[in-house]
Homo-oligomer: A and B are copies of this chain.
Amino acid sequence: MIFNCKSKIVLTDKQKTLIEKIGISYEKEGLQPVAARISGLLYVADNPHLTFDEITEALQISKSATSNGINLLLQMQRIEYITFSGDRRRYFRLKISNWREEFKHKIEVMAGFNSLMREVLAIRTKETPEYNERIKELADFLDYVFQQLPLLLQQWDKEKNNKI
């Protein structure tokens, strides 16, 4: 058998508080409570790689809750895992590098709302030109943002490269 150093995770009060804050923040975005706490834990834990049992224990939740939370986060591509030969456990970690994807996803959600606004404009009565114009203005702005945000990403990359 391979030497398994299962050091129990001890969280400081600061870490616990921050896990809850991050949890609430993610909950507001619609993430399930347990999945939100797992994300928080992975942000603050000293070791960025945690096993199933470490998560279960650190958050004091049931195995089923951990199982569901982890599988949700895996499916959402917010976490990933690595394994080591001779050790059956998966070591989960945040896919932080994925924030670009998440950013793009948020833009797409905005764009989705925008296309609803276009649908609204298409079926609205023509009797209310001022009102329709306001909706159009909103839709146009969302178009503009949708077009500019990818540029923002590019510009940031450029600035970052200049600094290095």
Contact = CB atoms under 8 A, between A and B. Distances in A.
Interface of A: 12, 14-15, 18, 21-22, 25, 28, 30, 43-44, 46-48, 96-97, 99, 103, 109, 112-113, 116-117, 119-120, 123-125, 127-128, 131, 134-135, 138, 140-141, 144-145, 148, 152, 155-156, 159-160
* 9 closest A-B pairs by CB: A46-B125, A96-B134, A48-B131, A99-B138, A43-B120, A144-B156, A14-B123, A22-B116, A25-B113
Number of copies of chain A assembled together: 2
16 contacts: A22-B116, A30-B30, A43-B117, A44-B124, A46-B127, A46-B128, A47-B128, A48-B128, A96-B131, A96-B134, A96-B135, A97-B134, A141-B156, A144-B152, A145-B152, A148-B152
